[in-house]
């Protein structure tokens, strides 16, 4: 079906009104990368495209308070380049800035929007693991109500049937993060990875492991959560034997969900090796 109309909207209310029009099949567009891919693959099936990239309230970048906690609020149509250049991100979340810069080549970073990556759930570099490790929250406007959903839950949820709009991503301010991030990149394709692993811990005065988070990403398959390894490690004393046991657990946990060919075996081996190296870097 050829798209009949392309509409630039100036505010959220107009965007919601248009997307809620049940007489037509509608889609939002911001950076356009996802829509272009659908078009190329012949899956673009809608009557009208609603361009939300010029809505100023979706371009905000500010510190906000919500339920007694401080957050950095990033508007959903900000590009990955804009976010990586944000002073807040560079000063307060330097590893997130690094992840954004390494997420793709300059032209695609200029086109990818935060909301677009979350709406499509298509992985870009280590963006999704980073948002999960930062305990980021997606602000989703649905039926006139703002719903705050953790990125981890959002990524594992079914796509809403009702019209919705991702308006922002909220990143909570917490104690300083220690992290290790390692990935194996595809040659010649900036940002595209075979697999990557991110391990974060919060800085504490105790010698116990607290609040460790381990997330991975496997090329087109996306987010891999290692929550059982985090549970195994949290509250325990740091030792090389403990890390060895955790890596063993990771090796057992990583069942191969990424196909049955040799590439799939390679992905599994890479992921296990990266978990081992990241844990060693962060904990020992």
Partner 1 sequence: MMRIKFNLNGKSVEPEVHADQTLLNLLRDSLGMIGVKEGCSMGECGTCSILVNGELRKSCIMLAPQVDGCDVVTIEGIALEDGSPNDLQQAFLDHGSVQCGYCTPGMVIASEAILLHNPSPTREQIRQGISGNLCRCTGYQQIIGAIEETAKKRQITVEEK
Binding mask 3-32 vs partner 1 (x if CB under 8 A, - otherwise)? xxxx-x--------------------x--x
Beta bridge partners, 69, equal 66
- Considering the complex, what minimum distance in angstroms separates the CB of residue 262 from partner 1? 23
CB-wise, 185 or 277, nearer to partner 1? 185
User: What is the contact mask toward partner 1 in residues 97 to 136, using x (rule: CB under 8 A)?
Assistant: -------xxxxx-xx-------------------------
Does residue 51 touch partner 1 according to CB under 8 A? yes
Q: Which residues of 33-62 are buried (b: 16+ CB within 10 A; e: fewer)?
A: bbbeeeeeeeebebebbbbbbebeebbebe
Provide the token pair at 93: 């979340």
Continuous segment of H or E residues that includes residue 73: strand 69-75
Q: Which is nearer to partner 1, 110 or 281 (CB)?
A: 110
Q: Exposure of 219 by Cβ count < 10 A (0-12 exposed, 13-18 middle, 19+ buried)?
A: middle
Closest CA to 138 of 117, 124, 122, 111: 117
Decide: is 39 part of the binding site for partner 1 (CB under 8 A): yes
Residue closer to partner 1, measured from CB, 36 or 64:
36
Nearest by Cα to 49 from 21, 25, 23? 25
The backbone torsions φ and ψ at residue 79, rounded to the nearest 5 degrees and listed phi first, read -80, 160
Decide if residue 184 touches partner 1 (CB under 8 A).
Answer: no
Residue count, binding to partner 1 (CB under 8 A): 30
Residue 49 binds partner 1, judged by CB under 8 A: yes
User: Which residue ranges make up the site for partner 1 (CB under 8 A)?
Assistant: 2-6, 8, 29, 32-33, 35-37, 39-40, 44, 48-49, 51, 53, 81, 104-108, 110-111, 188-190
């Amino acid at each position: 079906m050829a798209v009949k109309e392309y509409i630039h909207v100036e505010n959220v209310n107009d965007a919601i009104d248009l997307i809620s029009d049940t007489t037509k099949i509608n889609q939002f567009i911001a950076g356009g990368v996802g829509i272009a891919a659908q078009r190329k693959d012949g899956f673009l099936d809608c009557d009208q495209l609603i361009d939300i990239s010029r809505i100023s309230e979706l371009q905000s970048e500010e510190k906000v308070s919500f339920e007694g906690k401080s957050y950095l609020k990033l508007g959903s149509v900000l590009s990955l380049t804009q976010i990586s250049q944000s002073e807040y991100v560079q000063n307060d979340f330097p590893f997130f800035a690094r992840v954004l810069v390494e997420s793709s080549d300059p032209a695609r970073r200029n086109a990818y929007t935060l909301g677009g990556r979350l709406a499509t759930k298509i992985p870009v570099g280590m963006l999704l693991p980073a948002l999960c490790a930062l305990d980021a929250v997606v602000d989703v406007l649905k039926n006139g109500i703002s719903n705050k959903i953790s990125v981890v839950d959002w990524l594992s949820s079914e796509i809403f049937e009702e019209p919705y709009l991702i308006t922002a991503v909220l990143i909570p301010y917490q104690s300083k993060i220690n992290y290790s991030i390692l990935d194996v990149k595809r040659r010649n394709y900036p940002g595209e990875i075979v697999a990557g692993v991110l391990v974060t811990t919060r800085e504490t005065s105790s010698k116990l492991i607290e609040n460790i988070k381990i997330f991975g990403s496997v090329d087109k398959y996306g987010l891999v959560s290692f929550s059982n390894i985090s549970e195994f490690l949290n509250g325990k004393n740091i030792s090389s034997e403990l890390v060895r046991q955790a890596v063993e657990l990771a090796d057992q946990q990583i069942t191969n969900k990424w196909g049955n060919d040799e590439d799939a075996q390679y992905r599994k081996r890479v992921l296990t090796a990266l978990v081992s190296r990241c844990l060693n870097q962060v904990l020992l």
